[in-house]
Structure 1
Amino acid sequence: MRHSDSTGSRSGRQGLSPASPLPRRAFLTALGAAATAAASAAAIGPSPAAAATAAPYTLLSRRDWGADETLRFAADGRELWPPEYHPVQTLTVHHTDDGSTDPDPAARVRAIYREDAVGADDYGDIGYNYLIDENGRVYEGRWSGTDGTPAHDAAGRLVTGAHVKGYNSGNVGIALLGTLTDRPASAAARATLVRLLAELAERHAIDPLGKVAYRNPVSGAGRVAPAIGGHRHWANTDCPGSLYTAMPSLREEVASLMTG
């Protein structure tokens, strides 16, 4: 069987697809917290556990951004890359560095998806678990089934993506659209990145300021890495551009959001 951790290298590029049945909605958190619950919590003041869920953002499902789900299948109906699920161990940030000048971010996500699924990368699907555009909107990445929240199955395990060669299983891949080599992320994208990282860290009991002794459950490969890091922490690459040097402050912002 082909595993993403034997083929999943990338410096940060991606693309299009009939999608999952998740409707478009404003997400308070990746855990699906309801807006009414957040409003009630705000009335009595946020607790540390609720802090990471305080600010809403918009999450677009694969259907919303136009994912053509047929791209995930061969002509004989075989799924090109059957999903695998593992507990989350770490969170990794990327920039897509896709070179696109298309003003429509959904079109850019579709292009990345197409290249990843059936292009030269041959990942069977989009490599990232989440993507964030310049306006701070989140896009559901790799297909994870219909019985859990985006990127997860019903048991809360992460669907394995293809974003860090050799270290994909249990490693959440979050990519900001665009090339950030010589410029910072937009304020909106950065704010959403912090919220998403805080939600995922809270959900999976990850210390945003700590390190993890990552162990690949497929290959057994191990590595000590930041609990929240950039692609460059795992490979010889300039990805995620300026976000690499911003990582210490990002971690501090995530920790602050989690503790209120």
Structure 2
Amino acid sequence: MRRRSFLASSTALAGLTALGTALPARGPALADTALEIPRVMAEPASAAAGLVRPDTRFDVVTVTRPVTTRTEPAIRFETGGVLGAWEPVHLHTSGRDDRDPVSSAVVRAPEGATGYEVRGGAQTSALNLSDGEALRLDGPARTSLSAPDGGYQTLSGPYGRPSARFVTRAGWGADESYRFDDEGNDLWPAEFHPVQALTVHHTALATSGDHAADVRAVYHLHAVQLAWGDIGYHVLIDPDGVVYEGRHSGGDGVPVFSGRPRPGRAASVTAGHAYTFNHGNVGVCLLGDFTDELPTQAARDSLVDVLRLLCAVTGADPAAEIEYVHPGTGARTPARTISRHRDWLDTECPGNAFSEVFDTEIRQRVVRGRG
């Protein structure tokens, strides 16, 4: 089975019916019918390419390089035959635990850009997110996940019954062929571990008017360009507060988990958002760059809702200071149940502006269980 001939389809999501009732969805309604999504078109360039003028229009430029490279990366775009000013590139350090870590970023191209140049020893690729051949996806476009009946109790106090509504992988246009090699082998077989922590990220990517396309850009970077075989986050949230299913977790219809999650027994699929701390660590990523500004109120509210839900279905205490234990090596690392990416690794993520208010805007709201 060749990668390009693999028939893309959604994860079956009927199994979520038992987990909660349908919720009103933030954002535009998505019908549970066949969708046609444009494939991502990519045009890679070498680290020594200088000024690159892609053959087709491009929406974003992806930047990747080894974590050992210390030069500060920067990018500039050509528009109307004129090169603009150099702009800093905000890199993430992440990766699958069975691969070398990588620093990467996705940079939005200005309208009408005809070329770009990157300095700092990086590989790049120009992505066109809207003009590729149509990819047909079938299945539910949305689903919901709720906490068990009766709410839940932690050391911080009683909670209600939080819920979240997800855009499925089919709903945002995941090309499932990325997950397989030319012989049909799964490039990143699912591995599950009991949930210990929840980690918040940002994409450091200026968003567009098509947030599903923004998710597809991150998916292409992780799955294809970095050759992970899938997206490295479990959950993504856009500026409108819409929540997206991330890493593929199997055919049972439950995002993130190995099956219907129960407090104390919930196991999450291993992703690639916090290198060496991925097992049992659920990655929730906000679309946007929060180096100099905060996420929208809608995004912050959705993030709080999602974190409450994840605490409810796993039994994790949002106020707890924990000792993260790597299930393979036994290495122990002091942490908090709800952490920022930068709490685990040397990275700017989830942005300086957001990080400064993270405790009051997110963690304390989750702990309070309301407001």
- TM bracket (short chain): 0.7 to 0.9
Deviations 1:170-224 (A, max 9, x none): 0000000011110001000000000000111121111111111101113333211
* Shift, 1:12, TM fit: 7.1
Q: Counterpart of 2:319 in 1: which secondary structure?
A: coil
Aligned to 1:79: 186
User: Unpaired runs of 5+ in structure 1?
Assistant: 42-46
CA distance in 2, matches of 1:209, 1:181: 25
TM (norm. structure 1) is 0.82
* Shift, 1:26, TM fit: 5.6
Cα 1:166–1:154 shift into 2, 3 Å: same
Aligned to 1:192: 302
Q: Which moved more, 1:104-113 or 1:148-157?
A: 148-157
Q: Are 1:113 and 2:187 an aligned pair? A: no
Aligned to 2:98: 6
* Shift, 1:31, TM fit: 3.3
Query: Percent identity at matched positions?
Result: 40
Deviations 1:140-162 (A, max 9, x none): 00000121521111153100000
Q: Which has the higher strand share?
A: 2
Give the total of aligned pairs: 239
Deviations 1:45-98 (A, max 9, x none): xx9442534xxx541000000001001000111111111111100000000113
CA distance in 1, matches of 2:313, 2:100: 25
CA distance in 1, matches of 2:136, 2:191: 21
AA at the equivalent of 1:247 = F
CA distance in 2, matches of 1:236, 1:20: 40
Q: Which moved more, 1:237-246 or 1:192-201?
A: 237-246
Cα 1:12–1:233 shift into 2, 3 Å: farther
Deviations 1:10-39 (A, max 9, x none): 667469887685x23363xx3377xxx89x
AA at the equivalent of 1:50 = G
Superposed, which structure 2 residues align to 1:1-260 within 5 Å?
4-7=96-99, 9=101, 13=105, 21=139, 23-25=140-142, 27=144, 30-31=145-146, 48-53=158-163, 57-98=164-205, 100-119=206-225, 121-154=226-259, 156=261, 157-241=267-351, 242-249=353-360, 250-257=362-369
TM (norm. structure 2) is 0.59
Q: Counterpart of 1:223 in 2: which secondary structure?
A: strand
Q: Which moved more, 1:142-151 or 1:10-19?
A: 10-19
Aligned to 2:89: none
User: Unpaired runs of 5+ in structure 2?
Assistant: 1-94, 107-126, 130-134, 152-156, 262-266
CA distance in 2, matches of 1:215, 1:19: 39
Higher RCO (C-alpha 8 Å, min separation 6): 1
